[in-house]
Amino acid sequence: MELVMAAEELRTVVNRLRRAQGQIAGVIRMIEEGRDCEDVVTQLSAASRALDRAGFAIIATGLQQCLADGDMEASEDREVMRARLEKLFLSLA
């Protein structure tokens, strides 16, 4: 299944991923500087949420495309597609 995202959706996902990238860099810096454990965990949690939100946005777009287009390869039936999408969704849970 090929994922095609509209420009605004793509921009939103990329921004979330860049935010997570900056937060992860911040976590690394904090660890190297010996910062407080609570601060490190708080920053790590924020990075994790940013990654989760980007992942959910990508999966939601994929679901929307599957439902709207019904674009399945001949060898795939709805149950196989549902199982693939469920596996992707659960990988973020």
Structure confidence at residue 87 as a pLDDT band (50, 70, 90): confident
Tokens of 70: 């019904």
Q: What is the pLDDT of residues 4-50, one digit of tens each?
A: 667 777 788 889 899 999 999 999 999 999 999 999 999 999 999 88
What one-letter code names the amino acid at 67?
L
Question: Residues with Cβ < 8 Å from 47, sequence gap 6 or more?
Answer: 20, 23, 24, 27
| pTM flag (> 0.85) | no
Tokens of 19: 């935010």
